[in-house]
Structure 1
């Protein structure tokens, strides 16, 4: 079993991700990079590893196998790729969202194609316990084919709706969509107004297999009000041809299939589920490096599809029409929509 050495970029949220390496036999954190000196000092003290303020210097001196970059959305993700590949890094993990505007996603895709580096996006919900059960239901066909999904979340579009969209794609086995009708309202002006995204997004998607998705991401989402006690960050209902399954991030998850007299239900606690999910996500990086036949569930190609889905809803909202694949949104259109919602 190979030992994989990981360097962390980002001394705030990055430390949380570094903790998930503790106790994994064939993976360890060996360095951290952070430009804020105070955060760097705290991270070095907690992790007991060398600290750097320069990314390239860290790569040259430490020669990690894995880089885990956990930075703000305003830092373009593509800047980590080529230096990592040149330094012999085998896998790069980037934080969501993978981009804020189309040109950033295009630059990331180009860097990925140029280097061939394995890139993973930190949408760890594909490794939560409910996701494992969903895979079991796919394997034994107990849920049948999913034909409708109701998905809603509260929070920043650049934050929680990327997670929500990723779970939608996971449940639909990452197939492309055919049409979308989207609407946006307001401008995100809370803690990080520089993200410059709409405050509310609502869309109806149709996928290649005929499935439809009602998708809502908003500061106060309508679809979350009727789930008492649930954390509104991620709420999903999956209707299949043989039954129904649901998941609330802090509430409950459960299912009822044909022939079941009563539904199965269990409480959920994201704080506990995430410990399991983030660790499984981390272990899966090494598994992919060990064996090409065990690809990571959060490969860049899936996150790119999710990004395209969100950008497609933006474009539909901009032109006021239902649009079909491919949903190409230009940077100029992105700026036009941003200016419209911000009133500039």
Structure 2
């Protein structure tokens, strides 16, 4: 039996989600909700033959009784939409685009709402479903470079836009060992990149994991450039150094593995362009099993998403107050409000 989905959002990424749902045998896209643009709502609903469409999410949920609400709208509207979704008795799972939230209080409220109502929640970190990145994680687990010692993760887009992806992947590569502490620094907000999300243009974080692995995360205009890339969103790379070698992966270029002891050196393609659509489908195809057996967990679940969000907020916190901070920690909104547009 197919899971019924209501999709919330009408821009480009919502189009990608609609296409992925219709490419899967596990879902029926029963409704589309927009925010304020009725013309864009009509165009997207017509494109995918979605009969139920509305600018009122509560009314649409009552009409369609979906199993899943997929929220692909802008982050500043997310909390109110989740409040509406958790109030619908038929909803089993809420899928959320990153970032999870824009402030700590929003993230904590999303977590509280989902727990209080028994709703499952996932945050779409589909990078883990890209073939080269899945292979990279498998190689690291198999000890292809020995014991992991150090991780460098970089993106030229701001921390709120791509930082959660970046930190999540670093944690994924380190098998989600808990973070012991974080120390960070941020620059001012000047809008140097094309992201609509307000965040410092540069952010740097040093992370110590409980297993002794250290990671450095660089986000924004000052981060390293990947040669040949012209799209800032493609300047995403992670280098992992181990006791016997290193592994380097770039989002839309290559996966490289070198083992110093054996002399093994391999380079293969890593492609966002070729695989992101299938990665999104694969991510969505993992949802029915999680809905059927929540106890089995999911590495994109709310608990994992809160870990990467906590790490981002720790960078904000230590940038404002200095020192380093141990996790878990409950953060206040003032660490983010310092970058608010006046």
Output one character per residue of 1:235-266: Cα deviation in whole Å (capped at 9) or x when no partner: 10112234321110121112123554341111
Say if 1:229 and 1:9 are closer, same or farther in 2 by CA, change over 3 A.
same
Q: How does 1:314-333 map to 2 (within 5 A)?
A: 314-333=316-335
| Correspondence 1:167 to 2:169 | yes
| Correspondence 1:16 to 2:40 | no
Say if 1:277 and 1:289 are closer, same or farther in 2 by CA, change over 3 A.
same
Say if 1:287 and 1:202 are closer, same or farther in 2 by CA, change over 3 A.
same
Report the counterpart of residue 29 of structure 1 in structure 2: 29
Say if 1:259 and 1:276 are closer, same or farther in 2 by CA, change over 3 A.
farther
Figure out how many residues of one structure are paired with residues of the other and give that number: 336
Say if 1:188 and 1:114 are closer, same or farther in 2 by CA, change over 3 A.
farther
Q: How does 1:130-209 map to 2 (within 5 A)?
A: 130-138=132-140, 140-189=142-191, 195-209=197-211
* Alpha carbons 2:34, 2:54 under 8 Å: kept: yes
- Distance in 1 separating the partners of 2:28 and 2:258: 41
* Alpha carbons 2:136, 2:255 under 8 Å: kept: no
Report the counterpart of residue 92 of structure 1 in structure 2: 94
Output one character per residue of 1:88-135: Cα deviation in whole Å (capped at 9) or x when no partner: 111110111111111111111111210121100011111111232134
* TM-aligned CA deviation for residue 175 of structure 1: 2.4
Structure 2 unaligned blocks of 5 or more: none
Q: How does 1:240-251 map to 2 (within 5 A)?
A: 240-251=242-253
- Distance in 1 separating the partners of 2:164 and 2:235: 11
Structure 1 unaligned blocks of 5 or more: none
Say if 1:91 and 1:191 are closer, same or farther in 2 by CA, change over 3 A.
same
- Distance in 2 separating the partners of 1:325 and 1:290: 32
SS in 1 for 2:29: strand
- Distance in 2 separating the partners of 1:79 and 1:32: 13
SS in 2 for 1:264: strand
SS in 2 for 1:266: strand
- Distance in 2 separating the partners of 1:325 and 1:96: 21
- Distance in 2 separating the partners of 1:188 and 1:284: 39
* Alpha carbons 1:11, 1:33 under 8 Å: kept: yes
SS in 1 for 2:339: helix
| Correspondence 1:45 to 2:46 | yes
Output one character per residue of 1:3-31: Cα deviation in whole Å (capped at 9) or x when no partner: 11111000112121111123322222121
* Alpha carbons 2:159, 2:219 under 8 Å: kept: yes
- Distance in 1 separating the partners of 2:327 and 2:270: 36
* TM-aligned CA deviation for residue 293 of structure 1: 5.9
Say if 1:238 and 1:27 are closer, same or farther in 2 by CA, change over 3 A.
same
Say if 1:78 and 1:255 are closer, same or farther in 2 by CA, change over 3 A.
farther
| TM-score normalized with structure 2 length | 0.90
* TM-aligned CA deviation for residue 139 of structure 1: 5.0
* Alpha carbons 1:81, 1:112 under 8 Å: kept: no
- Distance in 2 separating the partners of 1:191 and 1:249: 18
Output one character per residue of 1:154-197: Cα deviation in whole Å (capped at 9) or x when no partner: 11322111111110111122222122221111204357887432
Report the counterpart of residue 3 of structure 2 in structure 1: 4
| TM-score normalized with structure 1 length | 0.90
Q: Which moved more, 1:243-252 or 1:317-326?
A: 317-326
Say if 1:78 and 1:164 are closer, same or farther in 2 by CA, change over 3 A.
farther
Say if 1:299 and 1:78 are closer, same or farther in 2 by CA, change over 3 A.
farther
* Alpha carbons 1:96, 1:122 under 8 Å: kept: yes
SS in 2 for 1:151: strand
RMSD, aligned α-carbons = 2.2
- Distance in 2 separating the partners of 1:238 and 1:229: 21
Q: How does 1:64-83 map to 2 (within 5 A)?
A: 64-77=66-79, 79-81=81-83, 83=85
* Alpha carbons 1:77, 1:94 under 8 Å: kept: no
